Amino acid sequence: MTPTPQNPELISALADGQLAGEDLVSALALCEADGQARANWSAYHLIGDVLRSPGLAPQASDAAFVMRLRARLAQ
């Protein structure tokens, strides 16, 4: 696979534990160098976690709590 930020399949395969050898090295280097690749990796892990355990899905009340916390911290 070609390690570019436009290649989300590489990062998806990394999150799924499907890479080895040079592909694994390339994906890790991409994550180290590119913030969007790291964000994609994190998102793919969250998606996988939620698919395996729906109780891990963020709840609306969680979002409201975070917004209130941010507002208080800004004060």
Note down pLDDT in tens along the chain; length 75 residues. Answer: 554 555 788 899 998 899 999 999 999 999 999 989 999 989 998 888 888 887 776 666 777 888 898 999 999
pTM: 0.60
Contact between 14 and 28 (Cβ < 8 Å): yes
Contact between 32 and 64 (Cβ < 8 Å): no
pLDDT of residue 1: 54
Contacts of 28 (CB under 8 A, 6+ apart): 14
Interatomic CA distance for residues 26 and 32, integer angstroms:
10
Contact between 62 and 39 (Cβ < 8 Å): no
